[in-house]
């Protein structure tokens, strides 16, 4: 089997998970080089990795480079992404800098692998919340045609990064000890609290935060449906890992809950947990470390025709970032683009 030289830029939560995923899936890597802003040794999943300082000439000889920036973390792909492409590598970028760029394919392998090509060597991972939503909705869209989506998310702190995970822990301990918790990462206390605020406001869609706009625009691009009607409300919750979504979706044609359950159960990358009478439905704790997107609470909306309600949960660091990027690389190999 042919083997490939792989680079990973960034060694935070997502970069570390990328290394785990490459190893766990036995990716055919001849070598794996890790780049960051300073040289050091990092121990990930029991293995030691030498971290090199990234530079303009770091990517020569690499076949694929995974940029591991967390949501909103700017800089690395802007500085080095196109230089890596010029060096001959395929770039798969987890950041949000180029997702809507016409030069860049925005890909979820279970949904739109046909958007990959030999020519477009810069590829973007969608937003973590977008990924799990489109994985769940794509099979239903193919069956009945989506007319409108209304989604509310419940997003864990790991989507912000290690500092947010630490802040939730520290605040929780402080509150238990009757101390006043310090607020550093978020605009409000996250422990024992929720707030409908992820990223920043923008004039593009007045009143919407950028995370919500990403879900709208990215879903339209992935589904190649620029006029698809979508509304999103993104909420940060005091959960360490795993994003959940409540999705109300209207279709062009009638689709029953029974039909949806059958379609989703036979679709790649999806696991249905839907026995509410037995308290069986997915939760963030259930999906931690899992590859699939989990779907439950599948039911017909009694207030609107041709409309279903779904509850969708996935590990945001794994399927919402690291795994999706590695799966893209696997498809590139399968299609013999690399």
Asked if 314 and 243 touch (Cβ cutoff 8 Å), the reply is: yes
Would strands 293-300 and 307-314 be described as parallel, antiparallel, or unpaired? antiparallel
Q: Give the C-alpha separation, 190 to 239, whole Å.
A: 9
Q: Would you call 208 helix, strand, or coil by DSSP?
A: coil
Sheet arrangement for strand 229-236: 229-236, 146-155, 243-251, 307-314, 293-300, 270-272
Look up 60 and say whether it is catalytic.
Answer: no
φ/ψ of residue 158, rounded to 5: -65, -20
Sheet arrangement for strand 64-67: 40-44, 47-53, 29-36, 4-9, 64-67, 90-93, 122-124, 105-106
Q: Give the C-alpha separation, 146 to 252, whole Å.
A: 6
Asked if 148 and 223 touch (Cβ cutoff 8 Å), the reply is: no
**H helices of 192-256, where?**
210-222
Run of H or E including 155: strand 146-155
Look up 243 and say whether it is catalytic.
Answer: yes
Tell me which residues are annotated as active site: 128, 243
């Amino acid at each position: 089997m042919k083997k490939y030289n792989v680079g990973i830029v960034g060694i935070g939560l997502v970069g570390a998970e990328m290394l785990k995923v490459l190893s766990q899936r036995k990716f055919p890597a001849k070598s794996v080089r890790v780049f960051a802003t300073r040289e050091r040794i990092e121990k990930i999943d029991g293995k030691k990795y030498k971290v090199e300082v990234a530079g303009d000439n770091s990517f020569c000889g690499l076949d694929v480079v995974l940029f591991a920036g967390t949501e909103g973390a700017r800089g690395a792909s802007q500085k080095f992404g196109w230089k890596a492409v010029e060096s001959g590598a395929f770039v798969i970028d987890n950041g949000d800098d180029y997702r809507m760029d016409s030069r860049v394919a925005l890909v979820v392998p279970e949904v739109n692998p046909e958007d990959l090509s030999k020519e477009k060597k810069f590829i973007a991972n969608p937003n973590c919340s977008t990924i799990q939503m489109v994985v769940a909705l794509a099979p239903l869209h193919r069956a009945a045609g989506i007319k409108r989506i209304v989604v509310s998310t419940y997003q864990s702190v790991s989507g912000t990064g290690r500092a947010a995970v630490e802040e939730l822990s520290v605040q929780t301990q402080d509150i238990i000890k009757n101390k006043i918790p310090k607020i550093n990462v978020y605009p409000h206390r996250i422990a024992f609290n929720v707030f409908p605020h992820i990223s920043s406001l923008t004039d593009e869609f007045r009143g919407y935060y950028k995370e919500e706009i990403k879900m709208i625009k990215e879903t339209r691009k992935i589904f190649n449906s620029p006029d698809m009607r979508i509304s999103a409300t993104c909420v940060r919750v005091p959960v360490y890992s795993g994003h959940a979504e409540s999705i109300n979706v209207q279709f062009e044609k009638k689709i029953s809950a029974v039909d949806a359950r059958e379609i989703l159960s036979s679709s790649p990358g999806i696991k249905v947990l839907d026995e509410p009478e037995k308290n069986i439905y997915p939760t963030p704790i259930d999906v931690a470390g899992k590859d699939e997107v989990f779907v439950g609470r599948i039911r017909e909306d009694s207030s609107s025709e041709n409309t279903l309600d779904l509850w969708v949960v996935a590990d945001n660091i794994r399927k919402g970032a690291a795994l999706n990027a590695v799966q893209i690389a696997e498809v590139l190999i399968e299609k013999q683009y690399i």
